[in-house]
C-alpha cells in the first residue's frame, strides 16, 4: 500500500524561500585579514573558484590565495632573504591579473608570474637558508612542497626580497581579481568572466556531475540571469567553502531575489518578483490569469496558513556588502534597511552578502525585499480544485485571483478576495489539481506592493573612505600599473602520475546462481518417523499390524480408506477424516513401547490401512495434541490359501452394452485371472496397443499379464473413425493367460470404430463349499486400465 | 458527468536513444504519438508537482513484470532519464487513439532514483541524484596529483 502525503502548507513559505531567517550572525565573511601569516594549502581542501567580473567600476573580489610550494634562500653576506611562493588562485582559466592588483600584506610588492594549467615559475622549492654570522637566522619552513600537475588551475608565482631581520617575510599575499574564471555566459553565449549568479550555478551544477543536462530548465535560467543583470544583482566572490549544492542554490537564490524551482522535474530559477519581458521589475497593474470561485473549489479544498508573528514582525535588515574601490583594497559595509516608521531600534536581522555583493543597490534591494515581504505578505493558501480549462494553461508563477463568498451574518456578505502567485501545482492522477498559492499584495492600482518597494530601493551612493592615508609601502607606481602579470611557467617532470596515485576496482560480471537448491530440511515440517510393522506385502487378512507412537503415553488411531477413494497409499494418507472409515483409537500408557496392534479382518479387504499417532498435550480438551501420520499399508487382500473355490462375478461392458456374468466355482490351485486384450489376426497374440498409419494409437488395452487375481480389464479406442480389425478382451483363466483370442467367458470381440470404452469388471468370490461366499475381493490392483502412451 | 480523460505516457531515454515508450490508457494497443509508437503497459504516475523545490514526489506504480523490472533497473543502473507526460482530451470523441486536439497538462523529467515494492508491484521514484545532504561543491579538491606534497608552514 502506498501513502502519499502532501507537504504541510505551513512549510510552503520556507520551501518557497519566502521566509529566510539567517541561522547565525557574525563577522562579515567577505573580510580578508591583510597582515596574517601566509596560508598553506592542505590536501583535501576545496579548490577555490574565483567568480567575478568588474564592470562600470563595480565588482571584483579580493582573495588571499594559499601556497603550495616555497623556496627560501639568503645572501651569504648580507643575509637578505629571497622568498618564492607558488600559489593557487582559482580553478579554471582567467585573464591575467594586473600589477596594481597583487599585494603582500597591504603593499603592492614583489615579482609575479601567472599561468594556467601548469606550474607558475620555474624555480625549485626548498629551504636553502645558511646561517650568516652576526645576523638574524631565517627560520623558514623546512617542508617546502613538491610539484604537482596543477591541472585546470590558475597559478601564481610570487618572489620578494627581505632585508636581514624583516619580520614581514612570511605574511599573506593577496590579489584583487577583476575578471574571474572564464565560463560560457548564458546571456551572450560567450566565453569569458561573468558576474551572473546563474552562470555560477550552472557551472557548479555541471561540474558537480550529479545532474543531467536534460534536467536543467535553461529557459528559466536565462530569464533569471536577465533579471539579475537588468536589476544589478551581481556575484563577485570567491567560492571556497565546501557545501551542499542544493543548500547553496537555495541560500544564494534568495540573496539575488530568485527562488529555485522544479518545473516539470527540471531545475531552474525564477524571480521572486513580477517581471516584465525585459527582466525589469513590473511596477504596473497586475492582471490575474484566472479567478477561482466557489464553482471551482472542491469540498474541504480550502486551506489557509497565516505567516507566524515571528516572520511578520518588522525588522531592521542589516545587509553586509563590500565596497570595492578601483585601486584599493575593498571594505565591508553595512546597509540598514527598514520599512518607513518601523523597527527604529530593531530587532535587527543580519544578511551577510559580503562574500559576493559588491554593489550598494544590490544590498539595498535585497534588504528592501526582506522587510517588504514581511510587511505585506500575510498568508499562503492551498486550494483543491476540480479540473477545468486552466488545466493546460496555468503555470507556476502565474498570478491568480481567489474570490470566495462568505456569509456569516444574516444579510451580510463578505468575500475572501485576494491575488496570489501560483507557487506549486500538483496534478493528481485522479484529475484534481492542488494549487499552493502565496499572497500577492497589490495597491489600489493593482500593482505589486513588494515589487514597487524593491524596484524603488536604491542606495544613497555614499562612498566610504577606506581609512588608508598613504601608499608608501607600495613599489612606486604600482598602484596605477595595469601591466598584466607575465604568463610563465613549466610543466614539471617527475610529478606523480595517475598510475602512481589511483586504483581502479575491476568490474566483475554478475551471474545467476546455478540451479541447485540444496536447503537443509526443517525437522519441524518433516514427517515424524514411524511405520506399520508385522505385515506381509501385500498385507493379508488375519495378519496383525503394529504401530509404536514416537512418544510415551501416546495414542494411535487406525483408519481404513477404500481403493475407490484413494488410488495409492500416499493418496490414502492424505485423505481427510471424512473420507476414511474409523477403525479404532488406542491410548497407550507407560508401556507404550509395545505400541498399538490391529488385526486385519475381512472388512479391511480392498482398503488401505492408515495409522496416525498423537502425543500427550495437557492443554488439549482430549489430552492429546494433533494427530500426525505414522504409517499406511498397501491394499489388504484375502489370504487365498484359506479357500478352495473361487468364482468371478461381474459385468461385461461392450461399448455401452452391459451384461452380467457369474462364472462357475473353480477349484483353484494357485490363482485365477482375467485375461487382457488380444489381436485376432493372422497371428493371434496378446497386445497392449494397436497402432495405425503414422503410429496413431487406435486401441489401447491393459497389461498383458497374466496378472494373478486380476479381476477387471479395460480397453479403449481413442480416435474417431472406423479402422476395423478383430480383437478380443477378457476371459477367465487359471495360472496363465488363455490362448490369445479365446472366446472363453467373460470376454467379447472388439472392432475399432469410433471413440469407445470396453471393460470386463468384477470381483473374486471365495468359498469352501461352492455355495457360501466367504470373501469378496476386487482383485489385484493397478493392472486393469489401458496402458496409454 | 465528466468528459475529461487523461492518458499518461512514459519514456525512458538518455542522450543517445530512447529505450522504452509506454502508455497506460489504450488497453492492449500500440498507438502512435509524436511519430513514435507507444506500447500498452499498465502503470500510473502520481505526485507530479511543478513549483518550489522540495515538493515533487513522483512515483510510478507498475506491475512487477520481468519487463518492468528489467526496464527500471537498467534505468537506475545506467542513470537513464524517465519522462512522464499527461495529456487531457474529450473522451466522447475517441478512445481508440490519441486525439489531435489533446492538451499536454503535465510533464515531468527525472532520473530513476529508487525502486521498491513487492513481488507483484513496483514503486519507482523519480528525482535527481542531487542529494540534499553531503558536500558537493566546490566540486574539485586539492589532491596529491594536483599539488604534490604541499608546503607546510
Confidence category of residue A96, pLDDT binned at 50, 70, 90: very high
Q: What is the mean pLDDT of residues A742-769?
A: 93
- Percent of chain A surpassing pLDDT 90: 70
SS3 A230: helix
**pLDDT of A480 higher than 50:** yes
B120 CB within 8 Å of a chain A CB = no
Per-residue 3-state assignment (H helix, E strand, C coil) for A570-585: HHHHCCCHHHCEEEEE
**pLDDT of A483 higher than 80:** yes
Contacts of A39 in chain B (CB under 8 A): 153
Contacts of B104 in chain A (CB under 8 A): 392
Tens digits of per-residue pLDDT, A276-288? 999 999 999 999 9
Handedness of CA A518, A524, A526, A529 (dihedral sign): positive
Please tell me which residue of chain A has the smallest CA distance to B116. Answer: A2
pTM, whole model, 2 decimals?
Answer: 0.75
**pLDDT of B1 higher than 50:** no
A105, A125, A75: which is closest to A167 by C-alpha? A105
pLDDT, averaged across chain A: 91
Which residues numbered 26-85 in A keep a CB inside 8 Å of some CB on B?
Answer: 37-49, 67-70, 85
CA distances from A6 to B47, B49, B55, B113, B115 (A): 9, 10, 8, 20, 20
Tens digits of per-residue pLDDT, A404-431? 998 888 888 899 999 999 988 888 878 8
Lowest mean pLDDT among A343-347, A728-732, B79-83: A343-347
**pLDDT of B54 higher than 70:** no
Contacts of B109 in chain A (CB under 8 A): 214-215, 264-266
Angstrom distance (rounded) from CA A485 to CA A497: 29
Higher-pLDDT residue of A500, A121? A121
Contacts of A69 in chain B (CB under 8 A): 148, 150-151
What pLDDT score does A493 carry? 82
Which residues numbered 29-58 in B keep a CB inside 8 Å of some CB on A?
Answer: 44-58
Please tell me which residue of chain B has the smallest CA distance to A155. Answer: B147
Q: What is the mean pLDDT of residues A540-544?
A: 95
Residue A202 φ then ψ, to 5°: -65, -40
- List the single best residue of A91, A142, A201, A264 to mutate versus B (max B Cβ within 10 A): A264
SS3 A369: helix
Confidence category of residue B56, pLDDT binned at 50, 70, 90: low
Is residue A623 within 8 Å of residue A701, measured between CB atoms? no
What pLDDT score does A358 carry? 95
B108 CB within 8 Å of a chain A CB = yes
Confidence category of residue A17, pLDDT binned at 50, 70, 90: low
B103 CB within 8 Å of a chain A CB = yes
Binary contact (A260, B52; C-beta < 8 A): yes
Q: Count residue pairs from A and B with Cβ separation < 8 A.
A: 252
Higher-pLDDT residue of A17, B61? B61
Tens digits of per-residue pLDDT, B3-26? 888 899 999 998 889 999 999 999
ipTM above 0.90, yes or no: no
What pLDDT score does A21 carry? 67
A235, A122, A232, A253: which is closest to A177 by C-alpha? A235
Q: Whose grid coordinates read 602512481? A: A500
What pLDDT score does B29 carry? 94
SS3 A205: helix
What pLDDT score does A308 carry? 87
Residues 6 or more apart from A514 whose CB is under 8 A from it? none
DSSP tag of A98? B
B76 CB within 8 Å of a chain A CB = no
Lowest mean pLDDT among A738-747, B11-20, B46-55: B46-55
Residues facing residue A191 across a β-bridge: A184
What pLDDT score does A607 carry? 96
Tens digits of per-residue pLDDT, A252-276? 998 999 988 877 778 889 999 999 9
Tens digits of per-residue pLDDT, A206-264? 988 777 888 899 999 999 999 999 999 999 999 998 888 888 888 899 899 998 887 77
Angstrom distance (rounded) from CA A403 to CA A417: 4
B1 CB within 8 Å of a chain A CB = no
Instruction: Please state whether the peptide bond connecting residue A347 to the residue before it is cis, i.e. omega within 30 degrees of 0.
Output: yes
Closest in A11, A436, A496 to B51, CB measured = A436
Number of H helices, E strands in chain A: 9, 45
Binary contact (B81, A212; C-beta < 8 A): yes
A215 CB within 8 Å of a chain B CB = yes
Q: Whose grid coordinates read 614581514? A: A168
A382 CB within 8 Å of a chain B CB = no
Closest in A11, A240, A423 to B138, CB measured = A240
B66 CB within 8 Å of a chain A CB = no
Residue A58 φ then ψ, to 5°: -135, 135
Please tell me which residue of chain B has the smallest CA distance to A6. Answer: B55
Exposure of A666 in the CB half-sphere (CA atoms within 13 A): 20
Is residue A530 within 8 Å of residue A573, measured between CB atoms? no
Q: Which strand (E) or helix (H) includes residue A31? A: none
Higher-pLDDT residue of A1, A474? A474
Tens digits of per-residue pLDDT, A554-606? 999 999 999 999 999 999 999 999 999 999 999 998 888 889 999 999 999 99
What pLDDT score does B133 carry? 67
Angstrom distance (rounded) from CA A765 to CA A788: 30
Handedness of CA A650, A654, A659, A662 (dihedral sign): negative
What pLDDT score does B132 carry? 66
- List the single best residue of A12, A239, A265 to mutate versus B (max B Cβ within 10 A): A265
Residue A32 φ then ψ, to 5°: -115, 135
Contacts of B88 in chain A (CB under 8 A): 387, 391-392
Is residue A52 within 8 Å of residue B152, measured between CB atoms? no
Closest in B52, B138, B145 to A148, CB measured = B145
SS3 A447: strand
Q: From the CA atom positions of chain B, what is the Rg in Å?
A: 20
A178, A181, A189: which is closest to A225 by C-alpha? A189
Altogether, the residues listed in chain B come to a count of 153
B135 CB within 8 Å of a chain A CB = yes
A413, A416, A414, A382: which is closest to A402 by C-alpha? A416
Closest in A4, A141, A427 to B57, CB measured = A4
A53 to chain B nearest CA, in Å? Answer: 19
Tens digits of per-residue pLDDT, A624-655? 999 999 999 999 999 999 999 999 999 999 98
Confidence category of residue A724, pLDDT binned at 50, 70, 90: confident
A384 CB within 8 Å of a chain B CB = no
B118 CB within 8 Å of a chain A CB = no
Amino acid at each position: 500500500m502506498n501513502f502519499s502525503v502532501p507537504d504541510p502548507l505551513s512549510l510552503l513559505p520556507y520551501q518557497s524561500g519566502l521566509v529566510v531567517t539567517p541561522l547565525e550572525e557574525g563577522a562579515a565573511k567577505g573580510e580578508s585579514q591583510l597582515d596574517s601569516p601566509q596560508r598553506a594549502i592542505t590536501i583535501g581542501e576545496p579548490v577555490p573558484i574565483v567568480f567575478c567580473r568588474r564592470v562600470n567600476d563595480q565588482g571584483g573580489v579580493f582573495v588571499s590565495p594559499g601556497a603550495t610550494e616555497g623556496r627560501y634562500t639568503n645572501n651569504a653576506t648580507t643575509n637578505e632573504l629571497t622568498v618564492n611562493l607558488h600559489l593557487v588562485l582559482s580553478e579554471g582559466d582567467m585573464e591575467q591579473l594586473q600589477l596594481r592588483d597583487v599585494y603582500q600584506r597591504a603593499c603592492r610588492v614583489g615579482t609575479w608570474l601567472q599561468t594556467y594549467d601548469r606550474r607558475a615559475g620555474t624555480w625549485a622549492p626548498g629551504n636553502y637558508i645558511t646561517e650568516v654570522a652576526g645576523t638574524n637566522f631565517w627560520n623558514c619552513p623546512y617542508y617546502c612542497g613538491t610539484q604537482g600537475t596543477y591541472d585546470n588551475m590558475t597559478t601564481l608565482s610570487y618572489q620578494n626580497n627581505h632585508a636581514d631581520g624583516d619580520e614581514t617575510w612570511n605574511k599573506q599575499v593577496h590579489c584583487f581579481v577583476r575578471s574571474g574564471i572564464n565560463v560560457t555566459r548564458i546571456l551572450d553565449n560567450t566565453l569569458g568572466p561573468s558576474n551572473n549568479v546563474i552562470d555560477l550555478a550552472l557551472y557548479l551544477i555541471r561540474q558537480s556531475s550529479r545532474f543531467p543536462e536534460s534536467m536543467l530548465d535553461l529557459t528559466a535560467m536565462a530569464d533569471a540571469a536577465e533579471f539579475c543583470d537588468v536589476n544589478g544583482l551581481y556575484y563577485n566572490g570567491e567560492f571556497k567553502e565546501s557545501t551542499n549544492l542544493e543548500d547553496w542554490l537555495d541560500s544564494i537564490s534568495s540573496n539575488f531575489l530568485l527562488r529555485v524551482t522544479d518545473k516539470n522535474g527540471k531545475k531552474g530559477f525564477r524571480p521572486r518578483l513580477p517581471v516584465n519581458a525585459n527582466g525589469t521589475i513590473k511596477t504596473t497593474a497586475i492582471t490575474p490569469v484566472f479567478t477561482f470561485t466557489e464553482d471551482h473549489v472542491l469540498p474541504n479544498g480550502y486551506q489557509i496558513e497565516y505567516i507566524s508573528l515571528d516572520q511578520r514582525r518588522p525588522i531592521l535588515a542589516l545587509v553586509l556588502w563590500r565596497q570595492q574601490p578601483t585601486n584599493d583594497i575593498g571594505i565591508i559595509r553595512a546597509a540598514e534597511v527598514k520599512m518607513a516608521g518601523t523597527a527604529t531600534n530593531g530587532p535587527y536581522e543580519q544578511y551577510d552578502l559580503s562574500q559576493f555583493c559588491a554593489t550598494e543597490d544590490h544590498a539595498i534591494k535585497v534588504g528592501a525585499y526582506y522587510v517588504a515581504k514581511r510587511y505585506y505578505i500575510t498568508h499562503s493558501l492551498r486550494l483543491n480544485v476540480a479540473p477545468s480549462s486552466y488545466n493546460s494553461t496555468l503555470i507556476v508563477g502565474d498570478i491568480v485571483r481567489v474570490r470566495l463568498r462568505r456569509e456569516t451574518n444574516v444579510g451580510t456578505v463578505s468575500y475572501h478576495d485576494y491575488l496570489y502567485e501560483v507557487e506549486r501545482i500538483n496534478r493528481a492522477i485522479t484529475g484534481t489539481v492542488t494549487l499552493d498559492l502565496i499572497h500577492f499584495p497589490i495597491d489600489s492600482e493593482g500593482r505589486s506592493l513588494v515589487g514597487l518597494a524593491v524596484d524603488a530601493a536604491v542606495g544613497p551612493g555614499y562612498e566610504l573612505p577606506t581609512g588608508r592615508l598613504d601608499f608608501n609601502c607600495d613599489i612606486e607606481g604600482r598602484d596605477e600599473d595595469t601591466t598584466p602579470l607575465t604568463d610563465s611557467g613549466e610543466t614539471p617532470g617527475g610529478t606523480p602520475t595517475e598510475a602512481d596515485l589511483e586504483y581502479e576496482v575491476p568490474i566483475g560480471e554478475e551471474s545467476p546462481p546455478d540451479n541447485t537448491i540444496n536447503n537443509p530440511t526443517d525437522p519441524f515440517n518433516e514427517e515424524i518417523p514411524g511405520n506399520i510393522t508385522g505385515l506381509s506385502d501385500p498385507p493379508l487378512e488375519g495378519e496383525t499390524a503394529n504401530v509404536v507412537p514416537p512418544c510415551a503415553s501416546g495414542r494411535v488411531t487406525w483408519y481404513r480408506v477404500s481403493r475407490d477413494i484413494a488410488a495409492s497409499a500416499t493418496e490414502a494418507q492424505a485423505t481427510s477424516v471424512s473420507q476414511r472409515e474409523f477403525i479404532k483409537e488406542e491410548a497407550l500408557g507407560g508401556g507404550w513401547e509395545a505400541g498399538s496392534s490391529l488385526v486385519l479382518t475381512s472388512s479391511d479387504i480392498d482398503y488401505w490401512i492408515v495409522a496416525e499417532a498423537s502425543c500427550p498435550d495437557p492443554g488439549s480438551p482430549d489430552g492429546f495434541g494433533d494427530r500426525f501420520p505414522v504409517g499406511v499399508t498397501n491394499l489388504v487382500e484375502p489370504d487365498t490359501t484359506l479357500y478352495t473355490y473361487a468364482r468371478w462375478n461381474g459385468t461385461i461392458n461392450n461399448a455401452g452394452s452391459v451384461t452380467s456374468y457369474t462364472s462357475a466355482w473353480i477349484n483353484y490351485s494357485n490363482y485365477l485371472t482375467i485375461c487382457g486384450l488380444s489381436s485376432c489376426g493372422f497371428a493371434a497374440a496378446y497386445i497392449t496397443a494397436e497402432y495405425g498409419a503414422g503410429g496413431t494409437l487406435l486401441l489401447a488395452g491393459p497389461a498383458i499379464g497374466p496378472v494373478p487375481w486380476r479381476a477387471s480389464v479395460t480397453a479403449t479406442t481413442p480416435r474417431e473413425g472406423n479402422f476395423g480389425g478383430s480383437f478380443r478382451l477378457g476371459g477367465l483363466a487359471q495360472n496363465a493367460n488363455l490362448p490369445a483370442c479365446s472366446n472363453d467367458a467373460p470376454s467379447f470381440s472388439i472392432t475399432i470404430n469410433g471413440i469407445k470404452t470396453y471393460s470386463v469388471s468384477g470381483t473374486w468370490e471365495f468359498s469352501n463349499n461352492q455355495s457360501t461366499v466367504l470373501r469378496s475381493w476386487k482383485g489385484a490392483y493397478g493392472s486393469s486400465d489401458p496402458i496409454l502412451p | 458527468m465528466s468528459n475529461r480523460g487523461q492518458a499518461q505516457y512514459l519514456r525512458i531515454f538518455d542522450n543517445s536513444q530512447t529505450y522504452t515508450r509506454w502508455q497506460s490508457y489504450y488497453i492492449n494497443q500500440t498507438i502512435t504519438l509524436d511519430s513514435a509508437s507507444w506500447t500498452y503497459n499498465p502503470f500510473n504516475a502520481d505526485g507530479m508537482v511543478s513549483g518550489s523545490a522540495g515538493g515533487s514526489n513522483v512515483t510510478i506504480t507498475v506491475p512487477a513484470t520481468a519487463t518492468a523490472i528489467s526496464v527500471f533497473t537498467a534505468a537506475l543502473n545506467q542513470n537513464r532519464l524517465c519522462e512522464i507526460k499527461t495529456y487531457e482530451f474529450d473522451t466522447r470523441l475517441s478512445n481508440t487513439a490519441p486525439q489531435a486536439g489533446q492538451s499536454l497538462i503535465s510533464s515531468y523529467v527525472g532520473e530513476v532514483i529508487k525502486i521498491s515494492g513487492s513481488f507483484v508491484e513496483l514503486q519507482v521514484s523519480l528525482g535527481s541524484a542531487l542529494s540534499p545532504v553531503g558536500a558537493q561543491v566546490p566540486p574539485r579538491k586539492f589532491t596529491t596529483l594536483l599539488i604534490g606534497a604541499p608546503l607546510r608552514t
